[in-house]
Amino acid sequence: MRLRPTPEERQFADLAAEWLSRNVPREPRPPAGEPMAAFDRAWQRLQYDAGWAGVAWPKEYGGAGLSLVEQMIWFEQCARFDAPEPGVLNIALGHAGPVLIAEGTDTQRQDHLAAILRGDQVWAQGFSEPEAGSDLAALRTRGVVDGDHLVVDGTKIWTTGAHLSDWQELLVRTDPAAARHRGLSFAIVDLTTPGVEVRPITAMDGKVHFAQVFYDGVRIPLRNLVGGLGDGWKVAMTTLGFERGTMTLGTVIRLLKLIDDVKELARTRVDCRGQPLSTSDEVAARLADLEAEGVALHALAVAFVSEVKRTGSSSAGSMIRPLYAELSQRVKRTGAELLGRDGLTTDGTDEAARFVPAYLHSFGHTIGTGTAEVQRNVIAHRVLGLPRG
């Protein structure tokens, strides 16, 4: 075991640091809508042109062909230089791309992978429905084969970024007679196709993160199927690992920095007697717990990428996402609570603007990408081998 970088890892980190120090955008990211998406696309394009996009993607698909270890080092350097997050490109880079690499056809890969790395395509997922949340296999949106097209009718909901997206991954029921997991197919859909309607939904923090999408006789070419007809569940399950393991690595590293910021907040803010909050035993113990859990999560992420590099897989992948989600909630909640009455506005101070919206937004962490409860089911069944209920 070693944490010290090899000469190659050191060189990679140094090159990344050197490039990031000169290229991280100085202007703030616009808060919403198309200007925000344009900012994210431009930052991605900058990375792509310099060869930093898709660090762990295979070279044949435009990536750098390196391992998750280098991907992790890249995220560490990004956090160090406060580089913008993937933002609206999160699903494209973290999910749609890896799905197409694993399961897509050559044409699909050619049409989308380079475009995703360039930041030219914004993607959304299309899994949850009004009557199919945690019970995903209960989904009802129908796809009927008509000649060389799939005709889709139904609705998807809680679709993050759908209102800003160009493409969507879509899980639909193509065989109503088959057993519920067997009758599903996985397609990709151009969201400009006639019959698609996107209605944004405002979340509890007052912002639009997601939308409901309606499909009315939407014609999707059969060549846009990923896997064959009826393979949808298999394709959707293969992708669980990307989302819950790899996609979380970057956010884990950023969370460590946020924990530092909460500690700093406790040092700079004072209680009613003028003493720094950090001098209270209760606050100090709470911050120590957050710091310890942050280091443990960092260690688990390093153990995860190490095991994947050495053996090809790691069951820690299913654990990083729920641990991250719950720790992140605690960190953001602590930040908001340390603000006291200053936490009663979302813009009264710089600290309030930083922590209060983050706190409100964090309630979604244990709901999106599979609830905390569903993630525990996955660990219980797939990692621990416990029987299903």
Partner 1 sequence: MDLYPTDEQRELVTAARAVTRAGAADVWTAATGQGWLALGLPEDAGGLGGSLADEARLYAEIGASAVAGPVLATSTAVRVAASAGRLDLVERLAEGRAGHAFATTGSVVAFDARDADVLLLVDEESGSLRLVPMTDAMVVADLTPLDPAVTAERVDLSGGEVLAEVTGAAAEHELVRAAVLVAAMLAGITNAATDLSVAYAGLREQFGKPIGAFQAISHRCADMAMRARAATAVTDFAAVSVDEHHPDARRRVAAARRHTETAALENTRATIQVHGATGFTWEHDAHRLLKRATFLAAGFLPRTAQTEALTA
Start-to-end CA distance of the chain, whole Å, equals 39
Taking the least distance from each CB to partner 1, the nearer of 56 and 92 is 56
Specify the 3-state DSSP secondary structure of 143. strand
Taking the least distance from each CB to partner 1, the nearer of 46 and 256 is 256
Specify the 3-state DSSP secondary structure of 154. strand
Paired tokens of 346: 């979302």
Smallest separation, CB 157 to partner 1 (Å): 24
Taking the least distance from each CB to partner 1, the nearer of 116 and 305 is 305
Taking the least distance from each CB to partner 1, the nearer of 21 and 134 is 134
List residues binding partner 1 (CB under 8 A): 1-5, 9, 69, 72-73, 263, 266, 278, 284-285, 287-289, 291-300, 302-303, 305-307, 309-311, 315-316, 319, 322-323, 373, 375-377, 379-381, 383-389
Taking the least distance from each CB to partner 1, the nearer of 22 and 388 is 388
Smallest separation, CB 152 to partner 1 (Å): 34
141, 155 contact by CB (below 8 A): yes
Rounded Cα–Cα distance for residues 249 and 324 (Å): 9
**9 has catalytic annotation:** no
Pairing mode of beta strands 142-146, 149-160: antiparallel
Smallest separation, CB 289 to partner 1 (Å): 7
Task: Please report, for residues 3, 44, 54, the alpha-carbon distance to residue 48 in angstroms, rounded to integers and kept in the order given.
Answer: 28, 6, 8
Taking the least distance from each CB to partner 1, the nearer of 147 and 312 is 312
Catalytic, out of 131, 243, 282, 373: 243
Q: What HEC string does 162-217 produce? A: HHHCCEEEEEEECCCCCCCCCCEEEEEEECCCCCEEEEEEECCCCCEEEEEEEEEE
Rounded Cα–Cα distance for residues 318 and 141 (Å): 28
Smallest separation, CB 178 to partner 1 (Å): 25
Paired tokens of 15: 């090159």
Smallest separation, CB 5 to partner 1 (Å): 6
Pairing mode of beta strands 184-190, 142-146: unpaired
Smallest separation, CB 319 to partner 1 (Å): 5
Containing 16, the helix (H) or strand (E) segment is helix 7-23
Smallest separation, CB 309 to partner 1 (Å): 7
Specify the 3-state DSSP secondary structure of 267. helix
Task: Please report, for residues 35, 46, 114, 250, 372, the alpha-carbon distance to residue 255 in angstroms, rounded to integers and kept in the order given.
Answer: 25, 24, 29, 9, 18
Taking the least distance from each CB to partner 1, the nearer of 68 and 170 is 68
Rounded Cα–Cα distance for residues 230 and 227 (Å): 8
Rounded Cα–Cα distance for residues 132 and 137 (Å): 7
Write out the catalytic residue numbers. 243
